[in-house]
Amino acid sequence: MRRMTLIVTGCVFSLAACKDPPPPAPPPAPPEAKPVAEPEPTAPPTAPSPTTIAPAPSPTAAAAPIAIQAVIADGAKFQFSIKESPDAFKLQTERCTAEAKGDAAKAKACLEEVEKESVTEGIRFEKEGDKLLWVSYGIGKDGKEETYLRGPIALLDAPADELHFQPAGEFTGKQAAGIPTGKLPPDKFMTVKAIDAKTIVMQSPPPKGALTYHKQ
């Protein structure tokens, strides 16, 4: 019986060797894959809005001409400015230079005297009944006004900022002898143009040319 027991015992202790080895443990389950979030659909790129182009500014309207009648109204006096009258200033400069005969100081003194005297000269337009008179004057050394020319004028068609006129009767004054008394051709007339509310330019026959005056 002991043998049986030993054999049985032997078989019990060696059971592990007698049996097929157990199957290997299954590999651990892979970690559960997390679902990949699908990218949110992006809005299609918006086309850039067209640049708004501001309309080109309309050309600035030309300033309305100064009405010459308003500028010369009420017998307004206008003082002569020889420095702003190129032809007349050139004429006097040449005269002073010739008289100075190379003496620069003398020529300068002559021109200064011309400028001093020029501011005493002026013009104005006066109403006398239904007539319009043109007056050219100067201030004498005694401070009194001296009339160079005074007489009626006839207005011709002209732009709003200009006065075109001709003598329309007898003139008086220190220089009246040079004023024609007969009717002049239509193309022979004096012109006064308003530059602004206080400045006028009178177109005088050569060699004086354009003469500038400022309202006093």
**pLDDT at res. 5:** 34
- Identify the pLDDT of residue 180: 76
Is 17's pLDDT higher than 50?
no
Token output for 87: 């032809």
Using alpha carbons, list the distances in angstroms from residue 106 to 35, 109, 173: 110, 5, 32
Q: Identify the band that residue 206 occupies on the pLDDT scale cut at 50, 70 and 90.
A: confident
Instruction: For residue 148, give the H/E element and its range.
Output: strand 145-156
Domains in the chain: ranges and CATH: 68-82+120-215 (2.40.128)
Quick check: 20 pLDDT over 50?
no
* Helices 104-118 & 86-100 angle (0-180, nearest 10): 140
- Predicted confidence (pLDDT) per residue in 146-183, tens digit: 999 999 999 999 999 999 999 999 999 999 987 877 67
pLDDT digits (tens, 9 = 90+) for 83-118: 999 999 999 999 999 999 999 999 999 999 999 999
Torsions phi, psi for 144 (to 5 deg): -95, 150
Whether pTM exceeds 0.95: no
Q: pLDDT digit string (tens) for 60-92?
A: 556 788 999 999 999 999 999 999 999 999 999
Q: What is the largest CA-CA distance in the chain?
A: 184
pLDDT of residue 29: 57
Average pLDDT, the chain: 80
Predicted pLDDT of residue 162: 97
The residue written with tokens 């005694």 in the block is 142
Q: What pLDDT sits at residue 26? A: 55
